[in-house]
């Protein structure tokens, strides 16, 4: 397979961002990290954050003078939308589109609204993505430690001829070119991101852990033991895989565990499971998943809220809360 090109510090030029005012819309997980990193990289930043919540108070504590989205957009040469994906379409229509400067840069940290056409930008705008592959608090913490979370960049519209260089410069300003930057498209980033979180990271993992736990408890084993085996140890195993792939993990576990991996793994993830993975990917690509999520939000989230409540009532959550309260190192 051809190797994808990675971009690092010397591939990006921060000077391209001088004399531009960058509006960061939203001071949540990504917003606070981008705003602070951009400022510490010497750039001119305005923060838009609505009053009334914790994020507003945090923005004030961090020394910003937060303004409304409309106000920030009016003043900016670059608008980065770091609002929840499900509200971006509405905020675009009401506050961004009527106020954005001609020829400005419009950027995102995730491709959802462009890929599923909730935002259709005018042709004068550069439309790009800078998507850190990690949560906001890590984007900030790693920057402070002179490390950096790897980023994906993408260009949807190159109206003014320098869109990719601008995306690279922005990635550098938030620390991304230390970790490494990879170019993608809005479609590839959105589809793979949704697939990863549904099939492996969130949907798949949560149900795998819980099903293993409940199988042991229903068979009469102590819930505490089931918790350690099926949840607590996940992190220890994933750390090994993260550091050195499956081979490193296999070197570190016992040969008995490795034999069990080969005997039972494919009984759990079967050909049928793979078929279902393909169907989930089809639902993502056709827009069925996105439309469902947008409709769910229009209806005030009946399914989402019911499921969230049910997960919180699971036995594993109660057992876990009790055990973790004694594991003082976790809180650090």
Rg for the chain, CA atoms, rounded: 22
Nearest alpha-carbon partner for 20 in 184, 173, 164, 147: 173
3-state secondary structure (DSSP) of residue 1: coil
Q: How far is 191 from 158, CA to CA, in rounded Å?
A: 22
Which of 17, 23, 38, 49 forms a contact with ligand NDP (CB under 6 A)?
Answer: 49
Residue nearest to ligand NDP (CB): 28
Site for Mg ion in 144-203 (CB under 5 A): 193
Which of 135, 244, 245, 287 forms a contact with ligand NDP (CB under 6 A)?
Answer: 135
Minimum CB separation of residue 4 from ligand NDP in Å reads 19
Minimum CB separation of residue 185 from Mg ion in Å reads 16
Q: Which is nearer to Mg ion, 30 or 49 (CB)?
A: 30
The DSSP element (H or E) to which 261 belongs, if any, is: helix 255-268
Which of 76, 83, 129, 130 forms a contact with ligand NDP (CB under 6 A)?
Answer: 83
Cβ-based burial of 204 (10 A; exposed 0-12, middle 13-18, buried ≥19): middle
Place of tokens 């970790």: 179
SS (HEC) of 65-109: CCECHHHHHHHCCEEEECCCHHHHHHHHHHHHCCCCCCCCEEEEC
Interface with ligand NDP, residue 171, by CB under 6 A: no
Site for ligand NDP in 84-103 (CB under 6 A): 84-85, 87, 91
Minimum CB separation of residue 26 from ligand NDP in Å reads 3
Q: How far is 114 from 215, CA to CA, in rounded Å?
A: 42
Site for Mg ion in 192-251 (CB under 5 A): 193
Q: Which is nearer to ligand NDP, 116 or 227 (CB)?
A: 116
Q: How far is 245 from 250, CA to CA, in rounded Å?
A: 9
Sketch the per residue contact string, 201 through 230, with ligand NDP: x for CB under 6 A, - otherwise.
------------------------------
Q: How far is 305 from 318, CA to CA, in rounded Å?
A: 19
Residue nearest to Mg ion (CB): 193
Q: Known catalytic residue: 34?
A: no
224, 318 in Cβ contact below 8 A?
Answer: no
Interface with Mg ion, residue 95, by CB under 5 A: no
| Residue 19 DSSP label | T
Interface with ligand NDP, residue 109, by CB under 6 A: yes
User: Distance between alpha carbon 162 and the CA centroid of its chain, in Å?
Assistant: 26
Interface with ligand NDP, residue 26, by CB under 6 A: yes
Q: Which of 34, 110, 137, 232 is catalytic?
A: 110
Select the binding partner of residue 66 from ligand NDP, Mg ion, none (C-beta < 5 to 8 A, by kind): none
Catalytic residues: 110
* Chain positions contacting Mg ion, by CB under 5 A: 193
* Chain positions contacting ligand NDP, by CB under 6 A: 26-31, 49-50, 53, 55, 69, 82-85, 87, 91, 109-110, 131-132, 135-136
């Amino acid at each position: 397979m051809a190797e994808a090109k990675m971009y690092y510090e010397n591939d990006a030029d921060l000077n391209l961002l001088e004399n531009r005012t960058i509006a960061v819309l939203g001071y949540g997980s990504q917003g606070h990290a981008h705003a602070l990193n951009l400022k510490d990289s010497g750039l001119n930043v305005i923060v838009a954050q609505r009053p009334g919540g914790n994020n507003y108070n945090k923005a004030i504590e961090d020394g910003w003078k937060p303004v409304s989205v409309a106000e920030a957009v009016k003043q900016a040469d670059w608008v980065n939308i770091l609002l929840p994906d499900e509200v971006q379409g509405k905020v675009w229509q009401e506050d961004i589109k009527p106020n954005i400067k001609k020829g400005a840069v419009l950027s995102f940290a995730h491709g959802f609204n462009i890929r599923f056409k909730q935002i259709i930008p005018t042709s004068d705008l550069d439309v790009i993505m800078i998507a850190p592959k990690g949560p906001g608090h890590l984007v900030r913490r790693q920057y402070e430690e002179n490390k950096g979370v790897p980023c994906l960049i993408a260009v949807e519209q190159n109206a003014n001829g320098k869109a990719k260089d601008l995306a690279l410069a922005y990635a550098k300003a938030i620390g991304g070119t230390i970790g490494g930057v990879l170019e993608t498209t809005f479609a590839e980033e959105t589809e793979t991101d949704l697939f990863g979180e549904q099939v492996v990271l969130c949907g798949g993992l949560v149900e795998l852990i819980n099903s293993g736990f409940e199988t042991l408890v229903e068979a009469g084993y102590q819930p505490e033991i089931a918790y350690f085996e099926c949840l607590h140890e996940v992190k220890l195993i994933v750390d090994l895989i993260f550091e050195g792939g499956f081979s490193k993990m296999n070197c570190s576990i016992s040969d008995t565990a490795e034999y069990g991996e080969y005997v039972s793994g494919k009984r759990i993830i079967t050909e049928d499971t793979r078929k279902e993975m393909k169907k989930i990917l089809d639902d993502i690509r056709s827009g069925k998943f996105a439309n469902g999520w947008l409709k769910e939000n229009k209806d005030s989230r009946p399914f989402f809220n019911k499921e969230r409540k049910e997960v919180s009532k699971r036995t594993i959550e109660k057992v876990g809360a009790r055990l973790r309260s004694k594991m003082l190192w976790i809180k650090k």
